[in-house]
Amino acid sequence: MGSDALSGRENWQTASAAIARKVEEDFVAAFQSALDSEYPGVFQVDPHPKEFDDIYSTFELPDDVLEQIYNVDLESKHKNGNLKYI
């Protein structure tokens, strides 16, 4: 698809990101409200805590889980006969 055709297509990522941002804001507001109702002024919800920045890159997964994730058939081929993963 050429750049002219692409430029005329709807950009679903922009709309999706706006919806996701609103959902995050609503969650933070609801969570903060729930905490304030039980513990007024005690807790402050951080919508983007830095403590979780690398949670996926540093969390050790068990071997059986890793085997399920990285179970790629290296011999699989495209319809044209070329290997998919080289």
Give me the tens of pLDDT residue by residue for the chain, a chain 86 residues long: 577 777 777 788 888 999 999 999 999 999 999 999 999 999 999 999 998 888 888 888 899 988 888 777 888 999 999 998 87
Choose among 53, 18, 39: nearest CA to 31: 39
Q: Would residue 53 count as lying in a domain?
A: yes
For residue 65, the enclosing domain spans 3-69
Find the DSSP H helices in 1-86: 3-8, 12-38, 55-58, 63-69
Pairwise CA distance, residues 68 & 26, whole Å: 35
Give how many domains the chain has, as a whole number.
1
Q: Would residue 80 count as lying in a domain?
A: no
- Measure the CA angle with vertex 44, ends 42 and 49; round to 5°: 140
Q: Would residue 76 count as lying in a domain?
A: no
pLDDT at 53: 86
Whose structure tokens read 């005329």? 8
pLDDT at 70: 76
pTM exceeding the 0.75 threshold for the entire prediction: no
